[in-house]
Amino acid sequence: MALDDAASLRRRLREALPAALKARDRAAVAALRSALAAIENASAVDAGSAPGLAIEESPVGAGATEVERRQLTDSDVREILLAEIGDRLGAAETYEGAGRHDRAERLRAEADLLVAYLQSGT
């Protein structure tokens, strides 16, 4: 069930991206693309889990070296989104301190958008 929730949240983020692109909502597009990329990166296969074979022992043929991506739980996806939110809020404070209020405001808007997706999934 947790995998379904994670897929649902990921699906909602993916479905929101074309609408944000069409609306030319730059903050939403940036937040959604970044969050989806972070989720995809987290589901990548851990390089340490692949068997260390010598070249002569390597599998041969189409698809011989393909490995299934790691399945993320709802908790994993939520942690990724929380990290994305935290990164934006931290960067916003840095920009605010540097006098870049416009950039800080945009990052806070991106964080708010991601918070809304987390809250709508509960």
DSSP string, the chain: -HHHHHHHHHHHHHHHHHHHHHHT-HHHHHHHHHHHHHHHHHTSPPGGGS----GGGS--STTTT--PPPPPPHHHHHHHHHHHHHHHHHHHHHHHHTT-HHHHHHHHHHHHHHHHHHHHT-
pLDDT, tens digit, 9 for 90 and up, residues 90-113? 999 999 999 999 999 999 999 999
Q: Which domains does the chain have, with CATH numbers?
A: 2-43+71-120 (1.10.1510.10)
The structure's pTM equals: 0.76
pLDDT, tens digit, 9 for 90 and up, residues 54-94? 666 666 666 555 667 788 888 899 999 999 999 999 999 99
